[in-house]
Chain A
Amino acid sequence: MTTPILEVTNLAKFFPIQSQGIFSRVKGDNKAVNGISFTLNAGETLGLVGESGCGKSTAGRTILKLYEPTSGTIKFEGEDITSYSASKMKPLRTKMQMIFQDPYSSLNPRHTIGSIIAASYEIQKITPENGVKRAVQDLMERVGLNPEHYNRYPHEFSGGQRQRIGIARALALKPKFIVCDEPVSALDVSIQAQVINLLDDLRDDFGLSYLFIAHDLSVVQHISQRVAVMYLGKIMELAPTEELYKNPHHPYTKALLSAIPIPDPILERKREQIILSGDIPNPVNPPTGCVFNTRCWKAQDKCRTTEPVIMQIGASQVACHFPD
């Protein structure tokens, strides 16, 4: 078997919370990511889903070393990059890129889109074969933008087009691995479908691997081969896409799937829905035992005291004492 492109083991990222005042001290940690492990194979898309505050974006950013990991290891193409400094990371950045959620705030309004996309070449001191302008225009054409708009500014483009600019920028250095952080959640459905299809095509054409972060399980189903469900900084269930959607084993996965409305009034009105009570607990003081126990309808004493270990059920990895 070939080495996976990305291997994450027990990764954790805590954000210290400082008390106010002159003698500020750390009074606790926001345990945004609390020990997650997974691998990503070349050419594969792994979906990372969960509700807001579950740590999925922090996980994505920590893997790219935009945040310094608290503990755990990150291996990229077999190379342990966990403790690499920024300067040591720089050459690796040509291989790993990111697409952001908000196409409005992730593009500098004072730069033309030509210079936004070309910035990657400048930073890495790379001169593409036929010159920077030619390369940028090829990229623009590839993502479905008019190459003549090279000198326009971001405000002249719609949300969907801006997201295409962000994608072109991520592709400029021919990366192998892209973290897509909610790339379509700010877009309307008709535009969302365009961008998902584009990402799909690009993966096949460029041989990319994606870590696809989203809160929308139906979008993730479309693009991923495997899906990891996160809750309060931990992975609850990780399974091949078909399996996860057909036979969810973890109660949280079940609840999440059942909460998604179906766009068909007949089916929507007669289906059984699991409505979870309450909200996500504060990640500063996560519940003891299984983090989901406060909202779980199957919770028993064991769930409140002992943290479940990940077990293998068929092709799925599940962290639950009482999986289905």
Chain B
Amino acid sequence: MTLLEVKNLSVGFPTPDGVVHAVNDISFSIDAGETLAIVGESGSGKTVTNLAMMGLLNSNTAQISGTARFQSHTGEIDLLGIDPNELQKYRGQDISMIFQDPMSSLHPYFSIGDQIIEAHQVHNKVDPDVSKERAIELLGLVGIPDPASRITSFPHQFSGGMRQRVMIAMALVNNPSLLIADEPTTALDVTVQAQILSLLKDLQREFKMAVILITHDLGVVAGAADRVNVMYAGRIVESANVFDLYAKPAMPYTQGLLDSVPRLDRPHTNRLSAIPGQPPSMISLPDGCSFAPRCSRISEVAGSKCLMIMPELTLRTDAHSARCFIGERAGA
């Protein structure tokens, strides 16, 4: 069952220098219980995509267009068309989000218990004691030792990894069907990252929820995702099943990204293959393919077509699509 279907989402931010085209006409969908990873470098638009869907962008400063059909507990809704006050009913109930920085996303003045209880009370007309029980249950589930007494602790009394666990408990308190995890382990050390990723995997199975995992780390994606969208300069440039993507990346950018990761499982080579240059300015995107100025395979396409025309996202094999003139199927 398709849980969320995003069509033609664009987000622009007007600035004195021009409109920053953060997200350009992207479409994707996610099924119930599935893990979709959105990978890209800083500024590729992966976070803005999700903030737009959650209604967390200021409508005075962001120009948003497109639709996002979501199967909520009350039926189908359009996350982008719905009234912001109405959206409040679904946020934290059907869709939750965890953020990158566990240091700044918890309120320092309130105990973690109060914060989780509040998240439960907003959506459930129940006695606060019921919410407290639920908070203790969740804190136990995410692996906080002795949750009944830690519930009165404040965020500063926890380490980074523990705070991220608290964030996860808060996100799951209402049994959401979709969890958006925005770089959930980027601020954590690798040993703690391993703990959090395995926790998320267990909880996803237990709560049967879909997860949108936003990350720049291709190693994390390899272990956690079912499908992957690769984003570059505000567009989806490749979308595939995780195994297909790593086995035969179709877009030179994906290939370049995979090649530039230093790897421990391969024999040590002295040079990393870097992608030359840097991402384009999001104010004046190039006419053709956004990646063309950095692409090593540009000469394979005749007549500098890459620099003039933006390739479409076309299907290559079963459910594997890419935005590149190379390897396009004839007549596609």
Contact = CB atoms under 8 A, between A and B. Distances in A.
Given A193-B273, A218-B263, A188 B216 contact: yes
B219 A276 contact: no
Interface in B234-265: 242-243, 246, 256-258, 260-265
Given A190-B275, A191-B278, A263-B263, A52 B189 contact: yes
B270 A200 contact: yes
A257 interface: yes
Nearest to A261: B219
Given A160-B278, A194-B274, A218-B263, A279 B219 contact: no
A222 B272 contact: yes
Nearest to B161: A279
Given A193-B275, A276-B194, 5 more contacts: A193-B272, A215-B189, A256-B191, A263-B263, A280-B159
A80 interface: no
Closest 4 CB pairs of A and B: A261-B219, A193-B274, A51-B189, A190-B275
A257 B263 CA distance: 11
Interface string B93-111: 0000000000000000000
Main secondary structure of the interface of A (DSSP, over half): helix
B216 A189 contact: yes
B271 A262 contact: no
Nearest to A242: B268
A158 B282 CA distance: 13
Contact of A158 (B246, B258, B278): B278
B219 A263 contact: yes
A264 interface: yes
A218 B268 CA distance: 10
Nearest to A295: B191
Nearest to B198: A275
Using C-beta atoms within 8 Å of the partner chain, give the interface range for chain A: 35 or more
A259 interface: yes
Interface in A237-261: 241-242, 245, 255-261
Contacts of A245: 264, 268
Contact of B194 (A159, A200, A262, A275): A275
A200 B42 CA distance: 25
B20 to A, nearest CB: 15
Nearest to A271: B265
A26 B225 CA distance: 50
A255 B265 contact: no
A10 B160 CA distance: 30
Contact of A196 (B42, B194, B225, B272): B272
Given A215-B189, A217-B264, A221-B264, A261 B217 contact: yes
Contacts, number: 135
Contacts of B260: 189-190, 192-193
Interface in A15-30: none
A264 B264 CA distance: 11
Contact of B256 (A190, A259, A273): A190
A125 interface: no
B193 interface: yes
Contacts of B162: 279
Contacts of A160: 278
B285 to A, nearest CB: 16
A268 interface: yes
A264 B197 CA distance: 16
Interface centre among B198, B223, B256, B271, by most chain A C-beta atoms within 10 angstroms, is B223
A42 to B, nearest CB: 19
Given A188-B41, A276-B195, A241 B268 contact: yes
A83 interface: no
Contacts of A5: none
B330 interface: no
A262 B265 CA distance: 7
A51 B265 contact: no
Contacts of B193: 259
A269 interface: yes
A231 B198 CA distance: 23
Contacts of A260: 190, 219, 264
Interface in B86-137: none
B308 interface: no
B190 A256 contact: yes
Interface string A214-229: 0111110110000000
B237 to A, nearest CB: 13
Given A190-B41, A190-B260, A194-B276, A265 B271 contact: no
Contacts of A267: 222, 265
Given A222-B268, A266-B243, A279-B162, A189 B257 contact: yes
Contacts of A262: 219, 222-223, 263-265
Contacts of B222: 261-265, 267-269
A277 B191 CA distance: 9
Nearest to B159: A279
